[in-house]
Amino acid sequence: MSGSPLAAWALNERTVNETINLANTLGCSSKNISIKQCLTKINISDIWNAVDKIVSQFMGRNTTLDAYAIPWEESKDFDIHQFKDKIKRIVAKNEFFGEKLAKILGQEIIEFYLNNDPLIEFNRLENITTNYYYIQRYTLLLSDLQFTLSIMKDAQLKIKNGWPIYLYYNLHYNPEEFPKEVKIHQNFHTNDESYIFHNFPTNFTLNEDDFSVERFLTQSFVNFIKFGNPSIYEIKWHKATQKMPTRHMRIIGQPTLEKHFDLDLLARQEFFQKITNKYGHIWDLIRGGPKK
């Protein structure tokens, strides 16, 4: 529910350091066996107790994601120039690709995310290409790099290896979740968890649609844990297969089982597959590091 281990931010030196930190807390460093061997011999309850001890140190140290942030005071002036600058400085970086290739790759990404967009015709007609538009496109790019594309790849690999994968695409949100200063309203990372665990980042009154999503997600998770299938009542949820790898439950209003993702999402997946094939041997933007 919180991304994929195939994402660059999830599998990096920080992961190694925190694993060593956990192993030290559990006393593995004093044993004459490998960390992996040590951890596999420890009761899961003891591991969670150790996590509780170090969680205050663990949280807030992921500087991998901090680099992408737009300071609040700069968001009001975030225009096409800032968008291009972000691509240059934190996505298509010279240190990864070299100056010449970084410039070419950066331009490809800019053109794709600004010109292959169903919102662009609306913005042209209404003449309202504002800072919110460029923030929305930048947010979409970050979502793809940090979560969406690695999750899709992760699911495909697991399906290929026989895992029972039940995909869902949650588009539901309540506009009241957002502070009034936030003008872009879309579903966001961990929002589905909030409907299950009631740990919303803001205080607002849930409406009937919220309760409907809450009931669906909660019961689906319970059924998957108990029976290995998340189907509930009249809503039959079939797993994704090698023949239908994008079959998923679309959650917005009444949940519906769909065979394919939105065309816009599939286009972004195809775009980054081409990017990976073209530049991945130098640096894979999704995984981080050269493609092996």
Residue 240 lies in a domain: yes
In this structure, the dihedral spanned by the alpha carbons of residues 151, 157, 61 and 193, taken in order and rounded to 10 degrees, is 40
Q: What is the pLDDT of residues 217-269, one digit of tens each?
A: 999 999 999 999 999 988 999 999 999 999 999 999 899 999 999 888 999 99
The verdict on 25 and 76 lying in the same domain is: no
Statement to judge: residues 54 and 99 lie in one domain: no
Q: Is residue 4 part of a domain?
A: no
Cα–Cα distances in angstroms (integers) from residue 113 to residues 14, 126, 134, in the given order:
30, 19, 10
Q: Which distant-in-sequence residues (6+ apart) come within 8 Å of 1 by Cβ?
A: 190, 192, 193
Angstrom distance (rounded) from CA 22 to CA 20: 5
pTM above 0.85, yes or no: no
Cα gap 213→210, rounded to integer Å? 5
- Same domain for 177 and 97: yes
Question: Do 84 and 195 lie in a common domain?
Answer: yes
Q: What's the CA gap between 88 and 101, in Å, rounded?
A: 11
**Same structural domain for residues 170 and 119?**
yes
DSSP structure class, residue 170: E
One domain for residues 127 and 213: yes
Residues of the domain holding 46? 14-58
C-alpha 240/C-alpha 237 separation (Å) is 9
Element (H, E) at 24: helix 13-25
Residue 288 has pLDDT above 90, yes or no: no
Say if residue 121 is in the same domain as residue 186.
yes
Q: Where are the beta strands (DSSP E) in the chain?
A: 167-170, 248-251, 256-258
**Residue 261 belongs to a domain:** yes
What does the CA dihedral 207, 210, 211, 214 come to, rounded to 10 degrees? Answer: -160
Q: Residue 122: CA atoms inside 13 Å, Cβ hemisphere, count?
A: 5
Contacts of the segment 275-283: beta carbons below 8 A, 24+ positions apart: 275/105, 275/108, 275/109, 279/97, 279/101, 279/105, 282/96, 282/97, 282/98, 282/101, 283/96, 283/97
Report how many domains make up the chain. Answer: 2
Please give the distance of CA 276 from its chain centroid, rounded to a whole number. Answer: 18
Statement to judge: residues 47 and 142 lie in one domain? no
52 plus 179 within the same structural domain: no
Q: What is the pLDDT of residues 67-125, one digit of tens each?
A: 788 888 888 889 999 999 999 998 999 999 999 999 999 999 999 998 876 555 545 44
Residues 142, 279: one domain? yes
Question: Mind listing the pLDDT tens digit for each residue in 149-186?
Answer: 999 999 999 999 999 999 999 999 999 998 888 888 88
Q: Based on the fold, state whether residues 43 and 85 are members of the same structural domain.
A: no
Is residue 7 in a domain?
no
Which amino acid would we find at residue 96? Answer: F
User: Strand order in 167-170's β-sheet?
Assistant: 167-170, 248-251, 256-258
Same domain, 143 and 232: yes
